[in-house]
Structure 1
């Protein structure tokens, strides 16, 4: 087990273009499972490959257990990789694939056998040990690839989107297995994914990247409830948060609507940081439906025309358009996502809902920097 640290670490492919990973500072605790997440091209895989030694560190440094390994060969870093494509030898059985690195290290045969059997027991691979990859399913191949890494007893695991080639049901079961296995082994793990659901369900902490720049690192719950900026707010969470630009701030209150009567509950300690207007974020579950059809009397609300109702069994979501937006207020993406209550069968497309955010249900961002006012 080991700690990992990135210190102002950069990977620069072309000096005339922005860095693939730019001056990243990140500390990973011993035994922690940290997930690097972001859209395609955000630099998450590059950052992990810098740790594994598959990409050079052009500026700054990467440390394992306090030792700078930036100039150390990949084979000497004691880092095990699990790839998206499995990377198994097709002419070898599962047993031979898992034992290959140990045989190259000239370990005693009895030790190799014991390590392979232990990994196979952990991953429930016993019946597959004498089968070749062509006779296995995608999930079984991925487990063999993981077993090949486990037998090495590395300091650090690096997993590069290992579930991307699996179907949806198998992804759910396999990610639970990976999480349980990592806790059992206690090995420091860096896990790369573009799937924010994987990130939120698996990581002890989640690091969000955008265009090579680290945006925020935090526990999944804190990341969801207190996003550092509008990018993190929009990327984490499904359905996505509703972001409303141009919300006026008057007398320390964030007010919505043409008549500025809907108070969004801007906390007093944040009001001093809001100069004239704010960007407001509202999660789908934070919208309260106060009426359908006719506008409710005596309660300020926002009218939303339902365009689509998505029923998912245990829950449902309505997506709609704000009917009377203020000339100065815009909804990013044009649509509002609202989680419906259990009696959602009465809600249908074409209906008008009157909604308002629940008390404490809004996040507030600076319109210039788009940083959460709570972090300024």
Structure 2
């Protein structure tokens, strides 16, 4: 297989506008499954197409196995693409589509037959080999596209949102199949998606892009628990983290200041990194603790009041989307004025329900109020 390295690689479509990919530096290890994730327009597909040779590199370099391929044609890079649109030849059967690339390079017929049979068995396509794409479902067509890529034995796989055209149930089963197949073959893979659930469940590491700039690259678990900045914190995780801005830092504590005396358990070493007396706190849905339900909190209980606006019941668990009921003298602001709280059951909650909750001890994240970088990294 191969390693892949971007060295300060940039792509500029218009010199009067910021680059689509801006000085990307990223190393992908041999056999690694790396997911590029970000919102639309973040540069993730462009970065992958630069690797495949489908987009030029205006600045910097791209290396495969230590060899500079920046100026090489796509056909000379030994990189295989799996597209969102499948890109199958409609007049060919699955067998012919899978074998097409091998026939182009004059591979012996016996070897083609063997490779197609192996790929078909791996992808459970034996019964579909003589069917044309119009006779297949979306998931079957995607597997044929993958089979066409497998038989080439490429150094690198590039997958551009390959599951976005599938229905929800098929998407879940197919992503598990792709991840298992990649681990079985050990092919270095760059996978592009805007779906952070795909990123978290499939990748060995996840690279988050915004406006063409790499924000953070790490394992899914570390990315979720220790996001580099507020953008990564809100983009990774569903429902998104709640950001509480202008949390007051004083007397060695971070809290809401005037009004409810709710504290976020901020470590003293992080407080020393602040320029002033405020911080942005982030709380994941599972890290809110409901201490009371009803208009009035029990005497002596210090918690934030929320009014439930919507209940998302998932059966085994539920998410409450609620609006904070802050007092007029509190200076804090909650991003988008909405909080997501995870509960084990939706029973007892409905729109209009008032509840009182506070962050679980030691579970909040803290971000610089100006740069919005996680204080852990400063």
Shorter-chain TM-score bucket reads over 0.9
Q: CA offsets, 1:232-251, max 9 Å, x none?
A: 00001111110111111102
List aligned pairs for 1:307-318, cutoff 5 A: 307-318=309-320
- Count of aligned residue pairs for this structure pair: 375
| Alignment match, 1:134 | 134
Cα 1:122–1:114 shift into 2, 3 Å: same
Deviates more, 1:248-257 or 1:184-193: 248-257
Matched, 1:267 2:267: yes
Write the distance in 2 (CA, Å) between the matches of 1:201 and 1:88.
27
| Alignment match, 1:216 | 216
Residues 6 and 24 of structure 2 are in contact (CA less than 8 Å); yes or no, is this contact kept in structure 1?
yes
Matched, 1:108 2:108: yes
Shift of 1:88: 0.3
**SS of match in other structure, 2:347:** helix
Write the distance in 2 (CA, Å) between the matches of 1:160 and 1:304.
41
Q: CA offsets, 1:52-108, max 9 Å, x none?
A: 000000000000001110000000000000000000000100000010110111111
Write the distance in 2 (CA, Å) between the matches of 1:315 and 1:257.
33
Write the distance in 2 (CA, Å) between the matches of 1:266 and 1:260.
17
| Alignment match, 2:338 | 335
Q: CA offsets, 1:187-213, max 9 Å, x none?
A: 000000000000000000000000000
Write the distance in 2 (CA, Å) between the matches of 1:328 and 1:16.
40
CA RMSD of aligned residues (A): 0.9
Shift of 1:257: 5.1
Residues 119 and 151 of structure 2 are in contact (CA less than 8 Å); yes or no, is this contact kept in structure 1?
yes
Write the distance in 2 (CA, Å) between the matches of 1:262 and 1:374.
22
Q: Which runs of 4+ in 1 moved over 4 A?
A: none
**SS of match in other structure, 1:338:** strand
Q: What is the aligned counterpart of 1:306 among 302, 305, 308?
A: 308
List aligned pairs for 1:217-232, cutoff 5 A: 217-232=217-232
Matched, 1:373 2:348: no
**SS of match in other structure, 1:113:** helix
| Alignment match, 1:65 | 65
Shift of 1:252: 2.5
**SS of match in other structure, 1:317:** strand
TM-score, with structure 1 as normaliser: 0.98
Write the distance in 2 (CA, Å) between the matches of 1:296 and 1:73.
70
| Alignment match, 1:156 | 156
List aligned pairs for 1:75-94, cutoff 5 A: 75-94=75-94
Residues 79 and 158 of structure 2 are in contact (CA less than 8 Å); yes or no, is this contact kept in structure 1?
yes
Deviates more, 1:20-29 or 1:290-299: 290-299
Write the distance in 1 (CA, Å) between the matches of 2:207 and 2:222.
12
Write the distance in 2 (CA, Å) between the matches of 1:144 and 1:102.
15
| Alignment match, 2:169 | 169
Shift of 1:299: 2.6
| Alignment match, 2:353 | 351
Matched, 1:24 2:27: no
Q: CA offsets, 1:165-184, max 9 Å, x none?
A: 00000000000000000000
Residues 257 and 330 of structure 2 are in contact (CA less than 8 Å); yes or no, is this contact kept in structure 1?
no
Write the distance in 2 (CA, Å) between the matches of 1:136 and 1:324.
55
List aligned pairs for 1:280-299, cutoff 5 A: 280-293=281-294, 294-299=296-301
Residues 6 and 27 of structure 1 are in contact (CA less than 8 Å); yes or no, is this contact kept in structure 2?
yes
Write the distance in 1 (CA, Å) between the matches of 2:159 and 2:317.
32
**SS of match in other structure, 1:23:** strand
Q: CA offsets, 1:276-315, max 9 Å, x none?
A: 1111100000000000112122231100011111111111
Residues 311 and 318 of structure 2 are in contact (CA less than 8 Å); yes or no, is this contact kept in structure 1?
yes
Deviates more, 1:91-100 or 1:317-326: 317-326
Give unpaired runs (5+ residues) of structure 1: none
Write the distance in 1 (CA, Å) between the matches of 2:129 and 2:158.
23
Residues 296 and 354 of structure 1 are in contact (CA less than 8 Å); yes or no, is this contact kept in structure 2?
no
